[in-house]
Amino acid sequence: MRKVLAAAGTGPDRWGPNRLAGLSPDEIWLYLNVLRRFAAGLGSLSAPPTVVAPLHYAGAMTALVERDLLRCGPNGEILRAQPFSAIPTVHIVRLADGRIFYATCAIDAMGVAVLTGKDAVIDSTDPVSGTRVGIWLHRHGAPISLPTNVFVVTARHENPSRQPCETMNFVTSTHSAQRYCALLGTTSYLLSLAVASDAAQLIFGGLVNPDLMNKCTGAHQPPAGWVGQRRRVALSASPATPKKEGVRT
């Protein structure tokens, strides 16, 4: 599974705490704060919090966008902070406590449950057949799906501007998977639902304490560096047939 993720463009630098490697404390604070806002249902930041100097915010945002941890719109609004999407997608995640989110892709939809530590239901659609897909995720059990024969397809685009997450979708049969891979026109991989769940755990597990993702208390309190007591953040420059990899032995 790790080799498949790496081959599809989601390598070790995107796994769990490795996402934070090389980021400054200020950049880590901003990234985790954005995730916490999404998780709390407060939406993404569209402007610097009032306690954050614009120059510091711009520098941290630039670093996070360059690492593809955030995607922003033309006016600087945050459109995506994996696993969350600020714009509607076909992947809708409902937590047991009633919170509802859009996820950026199939594995990210499963990753919402990992980040929050909550049981969840995913409502999605097979991109080829249009069949509705339901996934039930339980913290202490294997995922369950309707239809029962659900897979996840992932691929690496030859176009470097296209991200692996853009290809990760649920499919309801190997026939749909083959047709979808043909449409993608690149090397693709077919993951069983159980292996896709393990992939979500690998990518998002250990990134942040799930308890912190279920409340937003103190989310706007920055580290001292944001208000200039200790340090500053410099402003950077402008801003086919699938290979089966899902059967456990």
Residue 244: inside a domain: no
Q: Is 222 left (phi over 0), alpha (psi -120 to 50) or beta?
A: beta
Quick one: which of 142, 137, 223, 131 has its CA closest to 169? 131
Q: Cα 164–83–58 angle (5° rounding)?
A: 95
CATH number assigned to the domain comprising residue 92: 3.30.450.410
Residue 237 lies in a domain: no
Instruction: Read off the pLDDT of residues 137-165 as tens digits, 9 standing for 90 and up.
Output: 998 889 999 999 899 988 765 554 455 56
38 within domain boundaries: yes
Q: State the CB neighbour count (10 A cutoff) for residue 183.
A: 12
Average pLDDT of every residue of the chain: 76
Question: Does some domain include residue 58?
Answer: yes
How far, in Å, CA of 198 to CA of 142, rounded? 10
Any domain includes 223: yes
**Which pLDDT value is given to residue 193?**
92
What are the tens digits of pLDDT across the range 204-236?
Answer: 988 877 776 776 544 444 333 333 222 222 222
How far is it, in rounded angstroms, from Cα 40 to Cα 162?
29
Q: For the chain, what is the domain count?
A: 1
The answer to whether position 245 is within a domain reads no
Rounded to whole angstroms, the Cα distance separating 30 from 137 reads: 29
Q: Is residue 234 part of a domain?
A: no
Residue 232 makes CB contacts below 8 A (sequence gap 6+) with 55, 56, 225
Give domain status of residue 249, yes or no: no
DSSP designation for 161:
T
Domain that holds residue 194: 2-227
